[in-house]
């Protein structure tokens, strides 16, 4: 029987690495996890307490397709307090992780055959979800010359006015690179002048190491902002995210959300209202990421890994491993088998140059990071 072409999208390779690491653990061998793009901490205490209260006290049935009002109101307050931006709760749509937000945004904003620019290297699911929807993902190659973010000339080279959308994450995965405020404004002006819908993936906001983040919606009412409770809020498995939508997309997104998801998980929504009051615990996580980052930036060069993207935010170091391999998948498999350190091959993020790159996540414990550095130094010392 027929199987659709749209389902023929690539796997999300990091999930395959996670599977190999889990198999190793099942056999009783230890793994130092640097592959997973998720915090090594549970949800903050306030969220867990709120979830327990909700379990006892709430029906936990379906919610409005766009999310419960108290959560949308709390998100609005967050925009005012953190970014100084005033929004109405109607512009917020709560989603099943930011992953669902991409699907809803792409469906509401674009038609099959439309062109949406994404960065290479970049988060692989953008390309894969667009592909499944028959929307053309136009890759904008970025590299060290522009700190792994696009210049206006690079957008011109990717088609400029022919584009229907542009999606950028800042801080980015896998590079951790960030757009500076002036660059964000220039890109928004570029898009506005050419009717290009700007989609801002702000999932790594609040995980930064010095530079400030500014939300796209502060500068452009037509931008779609996508965010999530997965990273800063340490709630990956609760599957909750949100969008800030332009007026004209509210009803289309609501109709799509009603039909595709009915609502985001109810328990997670009730609990997440408390997440915004847990900044003490959450900022302590970020302080640990910062210490891990300092350690890796000092120690990885001693292992011969000394070419990185600027890790200005998020919790990744994207390292050039060309001097060791041109097959990062095999390299990572061997590294896991011989050292117990799990990391993600760059192939996931960059179909062209990714095979000579590896992404190390430093969201784990400080002890694990230090031990991983020791083992990599030993192992790569022998590899050269």
Ligand X SMILES: Cc1ncc(COP(=O)(O)O)c(C=O)c1O
Q: How far is the CB of 213 from ligand X (least distance, A)?
A: 13
Q: How far is the CB of 320 from ligand X (least distance, A)?
A: 20
DSSP 82: I
Return the number of other C-beta atoms located less than 10 Å from residue 198's C-beta.
22
Phi, psi of 370 (to 5 degrees): -65, -40
Are the C-beta atoms of 125 and 228 separated by less than 8 Å? no
Q: Please select the residue that binds ligand X; options are 37, 67, 165, 176, rule is CB under 6 A.
A: 37
Q: How far is the CB of 214 from ligand X (least distance, A)?
A: 17
Q: Please select the residue that binds ligand X; options are 228, 285, 292, 347, rule is CB under 6 A.
A: 228
**Exposure class string for 162-172: b at 16+ Cβ within 10 A, else e:** ebbbbbbbbbb
> Which range binds ligand X by CB under 6 A, 59-67, 97-105, 155-163, 217-225?
97-105
| Chain position whose Cβ is nearest to ligand X | 97
241 binds ligand X (CB under 6 A): yes
Apex 74 CA angle, 70 and 77, nearest 5 = 140
173 binds ligand X (CB under 6 A): yes
> Which range binds ligand X by CB under 6 A, 159-167, 210-218, 228-236, 259-267?
228-236
Q: Please select the residue that binds ligand X; options are 21, 47, 94, 98, rule is CB under 6 A.
A: 98
Apex 214 CA angle, 213 and 219, nearest 5 = 165
Q: Please select the residue that binds ligand X; options are 40, 73, 99, 279, rule is CB under 6 A.
A: 99
202 binds ligand X (CB under 6 A): no
230 binds ligand X (CB under 6 A): yes
121 binds ligand X (CB under 6 A): no
Are the C-beta atoms of 370 and 295 separated by less than 8 Å? yes
Spatial CB neighbours of 322, under 8 Å, sequence gap ≥ 6: 356
Q: How far is the CB of 26 from ligand X (least distance, A)?
A: 24
CA distance 238 to 236: 6
Q: How far is the CB of 297 from ligand X (least distance, A)?
A: 20
39 binds ligand X (CB under 6 A): no
Q: In what order do the strands lie in the sheet with 224-228?
A: 92-95, 241-244, 224-228, 197-201, 165-169, 115-120, 136-141
203 binds ligand X (CB under 6 A): yes
DSSP 108: H
Q: Please select the residue that binds ligand X; options are 39, 44, 46, 97, rule is CB under 6 A.
A: 97
Count of residues touching ligand X (by CB under 6 A): 13
Interaction site with ligand X (CB under 6 A): 37, 97-99, 123, 169, 173, 201, 203, 228, 230, 236, 241
């Amino acid at each position: 029987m027929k199987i659709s072409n749209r389902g023929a999208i690539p796997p999300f390779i990091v999930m395959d690495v996670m599977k190999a690491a889990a198999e190793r653990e099942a056999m009783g061998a230890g793994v130092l996890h640097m592959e997973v793009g998720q915090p090594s901490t549970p949800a903050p205490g306030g969220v867990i307490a709120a979830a327990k209260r909700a379990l006892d006290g709430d029906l936990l049935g379906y919610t409005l397709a766009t999310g419960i009002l108290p959560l949308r109101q709390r998100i609005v307050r967050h925009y005012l307090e953190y970014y100084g931006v005033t929004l109405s709760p109607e512009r917020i749509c709560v989603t099943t992780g930011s992953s669902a937000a991409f699907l809803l945004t792409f469906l509401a904003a674009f038609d099959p055959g439309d062109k949406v620019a994404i960065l290479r290297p970049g988060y692989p699911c953008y390309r894969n979800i667009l592909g499944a929807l028959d929307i053309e993902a136009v890759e904008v190659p970025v590299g060290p010359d522009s700190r792994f973010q696009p210049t206006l000339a690079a957008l011109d080279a990717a088609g400029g006015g022919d584009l229907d959308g542009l999606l950028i994450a800042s801080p980015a995965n896998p590079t951790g690179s960030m757009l500076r405020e002036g660059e964000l404004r220039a890109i928004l002006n570029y898009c506005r002048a050419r009717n290009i819908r700007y989609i801002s993936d702000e999932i790594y906001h609040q995980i930064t190491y010095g530079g400030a983040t500014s939300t796209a919606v502060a500068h452009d009412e037509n931008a779609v902002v996508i965010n999530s409770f997965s990273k800063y809020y340490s709630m990956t498995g609760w599957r909750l995210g949100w969008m800030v939508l332009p007026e004209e997309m509210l009803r289309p997104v609501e109709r799509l959300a009603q039909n595709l998801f009915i609502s985001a998980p109810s328990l997670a929504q009730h609990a997440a209202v408390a997440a915004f009051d847990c900044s003490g615990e959450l900022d302590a996580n970020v302080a640990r990421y910062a210490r891990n980052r300092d350690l890796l930036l000092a120690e990885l060069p001693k292992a011969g890994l000394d070419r990185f993207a600027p890790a200005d935010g998020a919790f990744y170091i994207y390292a050039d491993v060309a001097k060791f391999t041109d097959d990062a998948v095999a390299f990572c498999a061997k590294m896991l088998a011989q050292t117990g350190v799990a990391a993600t091959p760059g192939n996931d993020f960059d179909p062209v140059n990714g095979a000579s790159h590896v992404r190390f996540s430093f969201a784990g414990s400080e002890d694990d990071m230090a031990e991983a550095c020791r083992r990599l130094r030993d192992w790569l010392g022998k590899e050269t």
